[in-house]
Amino acid sequence: MEAVKQNGYALQFVKEQTPEICLEAVKKNGLVLEFVDEQTPELCLEAVKQHGISLQFYENEQTPEMCLEAVKQCGYALQYVNKQTYEICLEAVKKEGIALEFVDKQTPEICLEAIKENTDAFEYVREITPEICMETIRQHSLNVQHMLEKNPKILKTNKFKKVLMHQTIQAVKCINDILYPVLPNLPSP
């Protein structure tokens, strides 16, 4: 028991595992769930609270509660959730926007939350809407504004101007591609 309290990975060398020893091990390091001989939902719940990715090592049927706890701790744990729900996916992208990559059934709300957490999540949006484009631009603008407030001299560099111009052009193209087919009376670009 003392060895496991010092280092959870010591569990892999314990020949006679008890529920108490296993509980101590997963509380120390959730990833040692992989070495638990008799996994229980309670042990998995403790493991994912410590390290969400440990959900991948749970060999029995997952519960919604353990999946929700896993993604609250680490959004990337969504990739190991067997039965995704709206709530689980929403929590995952709120924690890690890029977890949008693993959402089976994307909704505009889930995509917007992912973008709010990290604009790089835009890459994984399957159905782009004007709202998603606008939020991406808004978030990007806030990032640029924050960066300029911290370091106003950056605006004077040509490299920054080129990157900013490229991002702006990409955003305008994105909005144009979506809105032009919907609003055909607009003059074409």
pLDDT in tens, 123-159: 899 988 778 877 877 777 766 665 566 666 656 667 6
Provide mean pLDDT across the span 25-34: 92
Q: What CA–CA distance (Å, rounded) separates 74 from 127?
A: 25
Compute the Cα dihedral for 14, 15, 20, 25 and give only its sign: positive
CB 124: neighbour CB atoms within 10 A?
A: 17
Could you tell me the two tokens for 53? 């990715």
pLDDT digits (tens, 9 = 90+) for 149-178: 666 665 666 766 676 677 677 767 766 676
pLDDT digits (tens, 9 = 90+) for 56-111: 999 999 999 999 999 999 999 999 999 999 999 999 999 999 999 999 999 999 99
Of the candidates 136, 119, 140, which has an alpha carbon nearest to the alpha carbon of residue 178?
Answer: 136
Measured distance between the N- and C-terminal CA atoms of the chain, rounded to whole angstroms: 70
Q: How confident is the model at residue 181 (pLDDT cuts 50, 70, 90)?
A: low
Chain centroid to CA 55: how far?
15
Burial (CB < 10 A; 0-12, 13-18, 19+), residue 56, is middle
Of the candidates 98, 58, 54, 57, which has an alpha carbon nearest to the alpha carbon of residue 75?
Answer: 98
Could you tell me the two tokens for 75? 């959004």
Look at residue 180 and tell me whether its pLDDT is greater than 80: no
CB hemisphere CA count around 84 (13 angstroms)? 22
User: Which residues fall within 8 angstroms of residue 168, CB to CB, at 6 or more apart?
Assistant: none
Q: Work out the angle at residue 91's Cα, subtended by the Cα atoms of residues 87 and 96, and round it to the nearest 5 degrees.
A: 150
Helix H or strand E encompassing 6: helix 2-6
Provide mean pLDDT across the span 26-39: 93
Q: What CA–CA distance (Å, rounded) separates 132 from 100?
A: 13
